[in-house]
């Protein structure tokens, strides 16, 4: 269990205010949600998290992180002008929303993971999310390839069986379709294993008929 987004080993996060356990909702339909406003957690500048409900209801009361007690408010830092105390943010989504126009012009792919800035925190979540998406897509691709291979083998067996049962004469209209259905049925009946009710032996399904004739 963790409530710190830099923990690489945990996928479940705990809100330090309501103690709700959830996964970090930065992925939907196996795609990375670019805007943090769409995530189910608010990310504080210290790297700790708070669920949307707690932050929405208590935004005006939350001045310090519930875990590390660091101030939640982060002020804008202007080059050559120091800190701008008139502009501040408490969460990653607030900061991101403020600079949404700039984000479009500056590729978020270039942000490097770190613990010192909102862009670094965002990059950390981005990388973890994309890694998870890649892993899931690879898993689905393997399943797809396995099914395609199994179907190819099945089709090959059906064609072989169709060739075996097709009479060596001109076929009548509609006869080919019936033979194809019969070939598919024969192949499926001969696939897998069969347990004999008489002798309790488990044998390949393709030997089912021969075994039943010989089994006493």
What is the pLDDT at residue 152? 94
Residues 6+ apart with CB under 8 A from 121: 5, 43, 45, 47, 92, 114, 115
H or E stretch covering 5? none
User: Buried (b) or exposed (e) across 148-164, using 16+ Cβ within 10 A?
Assistant: eeeeeeeeebbeebbee
Q: Across-strand partners of 31?
A: 28
What is the pLDDT at residue 1? 40
What are the pLDDT tens digits along the chain (216 aa)? Answer: 455 676 655 567 778 778 777 777 888 888 988 888 888 888 888 888 888 888 888 777 788 887 888 888 888 776 556 677 777 888 899 888 877 666 656 677 888 888 888 888 899 889 988 988 999 999 999 999 999 999 999 899 899 989 988 988 888 888 999 999 988 988 888 777 767 777 777 777 777 777 777 776
What is the pLDDT at residue 23? 77
Is the distance from CB of 51 to CB of 62 less than 8 angstroms?
no
What is the pLDDT at residue 141? 96
Nearest-CA neighbor of 26 among 125, 140, 136, 139?
Answer: 125
Domains of the chain, by residue range, sit at 12-133, 174-216
End-to-end CA distance of the chain: 61
Q: How far apart are CA 6 and CA 48, in angstroms?
A: 9
DSSP labels, 55-120: HHHHTTT--B-TTT--B--EEEEETTTEEEEEEEESBHHHHHHHTHHHHHHS-GGGPPP-SSSHHH
User: Buried (b) or exposed (e) across 201-215, using 16+ Cβ within 10 A?
Assistant: eebebeebeebeeee
Helix (H, G, I), strand (E, B) or coil at 12: strand
Residues 6+ apart with CB under 8 A from 176: 166
Helices (H), 106-174: 118-165
């Amino acid at each position: 269990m963790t409530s710190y987004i830099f923990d690489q080993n945990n996928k479940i996060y705990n809100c330090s205010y309501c103690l709700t356990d959830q996964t970090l909702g930065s992925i939907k339909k196996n795609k990375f949600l670019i805007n943090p406003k769409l995530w189910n957690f608010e990310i504080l500048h210290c790297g700790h998290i708070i669920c949307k409900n707690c932050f929405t209801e208590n935004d005006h009361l939350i001045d310090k992180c519930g875990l590390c007690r660091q101030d939640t408010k982060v002020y804008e830092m202007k080059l050559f002008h120091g800190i701008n105390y008139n502009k501040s943010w408490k969460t990653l989504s607030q900061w991101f929303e403020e600079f949404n126009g700039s984000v479009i012009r500056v590729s978020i792919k270039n942000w490097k993971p770190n613990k010192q800035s909102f862009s670094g925190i965002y990059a950390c979540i981005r990388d973890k999310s994309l890694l998870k998406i890649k892993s899931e897509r690879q898993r689905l691709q393997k399943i797809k390839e396995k099914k395609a291979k199994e179907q190819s083998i099945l089709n090959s067996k059906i064609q072989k069986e169709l060739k075996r049962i097709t009479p060596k004469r001109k076929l009548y209209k509609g006869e080919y379709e019936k033979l194809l259905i019969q070939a598919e049925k024969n192949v499926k009946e001969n696939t897998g294993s069969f347990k004999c009710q008489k002798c309790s032996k488990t044998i390949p399904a393709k030997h089912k008929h021969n075994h039943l004739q010989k089994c006493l």
